[in-house]
Amino acid sequence: MKLTLFVLVFSALLLTQCTDVKEKEMKDKKQTVEKGVKNIEQEDIDNVTSMLVEKYGDAHKDRIKRGVTQAAALWNSKDGCKKDFEEFCLNYFIADEKEREMVFNKISTNFEILRGNFNKMSLDLKRPLHLDIGETHPIDDIFGALDPSAHMESDLYENKVAFIVILNFPFYSLKEKTEMGEKWSRKDWAYARLGDMFTARIPAELYQNYSKVTTDADTYISEYNIFMGKLVNDKQETLFPEDLKLITHWGLRDELKSNYNMENGLVKQKMVYEVMKRIITQEIPKNVINNGEYTWNPTTNKIYVNGKEADSPAEDNVRYQHMLNIFHALKAMDEFSPQLPSYILRKFEAEMEIPMADVEKLFVDLVSSPQVKEVAAVIKKRLGRELEPFDIWFDGFKSRSSLNENDLNKATTSKYPNPEALKKDLPNILVKLGWSKDRAELISSRVAVDPSRGAGHAWGAEMKGDVSHLRTRIGANGMDYKGYCIAVHEFGHNVEQTITLYDVDYYAMKGVPNTAFTEAVAFMFQKRDVELLGMKTGNDLKADLEAIDNFWACYEIMGVSLVDMAVWKWLYEHPDATASDLKETVIRISKEVWNKYYADVFGVKDQPILAIYSHMIDAPLYLSAYPIGHLIDFQLESYIKGKSFSGELERVLKQGRLIPQKWMKDAVGEELSIKPLLEATSAAAKKL
């Protein structure tokens, strides 16, 4: 077989003399590698393509042309001269389908070994940071930040494995997958997924820079706390507990949610919203951010020390500079991604695999639907007042709200006093959801339960024989209900991770189409948490409440996502913008989206509230995954109603990583759609 000659042939290739061409290429080696100046021209591509077609026949012409063209786009002088490229293609193109399948299987096996072990190493290095197993030391942070796989991609280009993959298993665009995928076999899909692995060759220094700016942004956000006990009104009165400290935006948003039907709730909500607006406009005094030394009236924007007014500079565009830094770091990678030469394309066409235009249409159709006013009327009636802008976070449709949280805490703390108790109960949870005892025990045996330092998370395995990890927080008195709710959500991720690793037919197809799909599965588990405790909500309108709650959550986050997408399009149109320019643009766009889809519903114009999300700062273009996850969740739930929960979930998960629309079509008979949610919302609004 050709691959058995790999080492010998490439030793010869490296010794090949191409003096007349290489002299200049080696002189400009630094520029070639760092700036992405390729050394294979179209004429060279045409010549190599012609030679291969002549050797193997027209039946292979399309794959030859695609593979040679894509390999040439990423080949540079470090890999060899033009003659080296020609010899590489002639030696390593595989025409025989049996050999190609054998090579595919070998590559898949080796990638599973590499990814699986690197993943396990990373997981183990982070144990002191993630698990509640004792005090941490700065050395733990250093080891935890180490990425064992950091050089894997560059190594695979250097030893030519990446180019063998590109040449024989080329990349297909999302448009091509959509048009051709209906006729593909499972093996064809697996070959295409292998082709997705090597579409860019980004220099390590750009990855390092991106890591730095995102870490800086994450730190900025994680330390952006507001001391709520230091907020005062015009009478210098405080409304919040002295020790209450909230992170933006999550903490502020959840505080808004918690104050419905509470004493002074509306007054406190209005004060929180004033804080949000000051953050968005960057008028917030710098000295009140993560600092409890001053009192602050967010309405007048004055700060005080010992009751006397003090001076403080405004934060002044720091928020938007972080966003701009991330944009520049990602844009710098564009020229090294010949197939997807912009971050917007990489995010939507490659990662999400739903074109941005389709996502925008889906969101616009929902936020402009007549159901918005139907639900708003229900909320208005429940509140007994006119709507305020922050009522986009109205939280009064949760069916479990009829239960006493003390009773829920009592049930979970007694049932799960420690991680071992939760681990032991995992098979029982799956049996309650419809799995057979044997299948439940098999899936659960592949999930480890660990005591988490944080709220909890799921970490999947990357190779068979390893286990996924359910990290959950259990206090000294046992697991409270909030911790249990998170644990059930994370267990949903673990079940998805396990089934799509062990039971999908090809390793290249393992997983789900994108993050939104695994979130949808976790939502499906989480909403059954009370049922799994053997408790009933006592609410006959549970299904209606879930539908309308899902709809209102989509209405809110889809507007935020529309702002996020519009801002990124503007950034690409104005790459030299300053932080001040970006701030003005974000505020302008947020008000435009508000005025178009929210102002008539809430009765007030020019509100910037949709720009408060911290994800816009440190998680570029991630926001769209949330509402898509809610839509997937709702469509799956609607389809499996009356059917076996476990059987249907296994069926759809075993599809693996198809593109989203095909996955949905094969799963529930239709593509991703807002129609089921709109219909259910109208019915629910009438009942409520």
DSSP tally for the chain: helices H, then strands E: 34, 8
Q: How many CB atoms lie within 10 A of CB 229?
A: 16
Alpha-carbon span 216 to 142, nearest angstrom: 16
10 Å CB burial of residue 663 (0-12, 13-18, 19+) is buried
The stretch 101-114 carries a mean pLDDT of 98
Q: Please check the confidence at residue 574 and state whether its pLDDT lies above 70.
A: yes
Question: pLDDT per residue over 245-280, tens digit each?
Answer: 988 888 899 889 889 988 899 999 999 999 999 999
Nearest to 499 by CA among 481, 476, 525, 538: 525
Between strands 456-459 and 447-451, the pairing is unpaired
Q: Please check the confidence at residue 403 and state whether its pLDDT lies above 80.
A: no
Least confident interval from 140-154, 271-285, 319-333: 140-154
Q: What is the DSSP string of 206-269?
A: HHHHHHHHHHHHHHHHHT-EEEGGGBB-TTS-B-S-TT-EEETTHHHHHHHHHTTTSTTHHHHH
155-169, 529-543, 612-626: range with highest mean pLDDT: 155-169
**E-state strands within 300-406:** 302-305, 308-310
Q: Please check the confidence at residue 582 and state whether its pLDDT lies above 80.
A: yes
For tokens 């089934």, the residue is 499
Q: Please check the confidence at residue 423 and state whether its pLDDT lies above 50.
A: yes
Alpha-carbon span 389 to 597, nearest angstrom: 12
Q: The whole model's pTM is what? A: 0.84
358: Cβ–Cβ under 8 A, 6 or more apart, which residues? none
Work out the pLDDT band at 543, boundaries 50, 70, 90.
confident
* Buried/exposed code over 77-93 (b: 16+ C-beta within 10 A; e: otherwise): bebbbbebbbbbbebbb
Average pLDDT, the chain: 90
Nearest to 275 by CA among 224, 206, 341: 224
How confident is the model at residue 37, as a pLDDT? 59
Q: How many CB atoms lie within 10 A of CB 290?
A: 13
Phi/psi of residue 620, each to 5°?
A: -55, 125
* CA distances, 469 to each of 454, 461, 500 (Å): 14, 8, 15
Nearest to 44 by CA among 13, 90, 4, 7: 90
Q: How many CB atoms lie within 10 A of CB 1?
A: 11
Alpha-carbon span 684 to 245, nearest angstrom: 37
Q: Please check the confidence at residue 169 and state whether its pLDDT lies above 80.
A: yes
Work out the pLDDT band at 555, boundaries 50, 70, 90.
very high
Query: Within 13 Å of residue 457, how many CA atoms lie on the same side as its CB?
Result: 9
How confident is the model at residue 454, as a pLDDT? 65
Q: Please check the confidence at residue 33 and state whether its pLDDT lies above 50.
A: no
| Residues paired with 470 in a beta bridge | 449, 458
The stretch 590-608 carries a mean pLDDT of 98
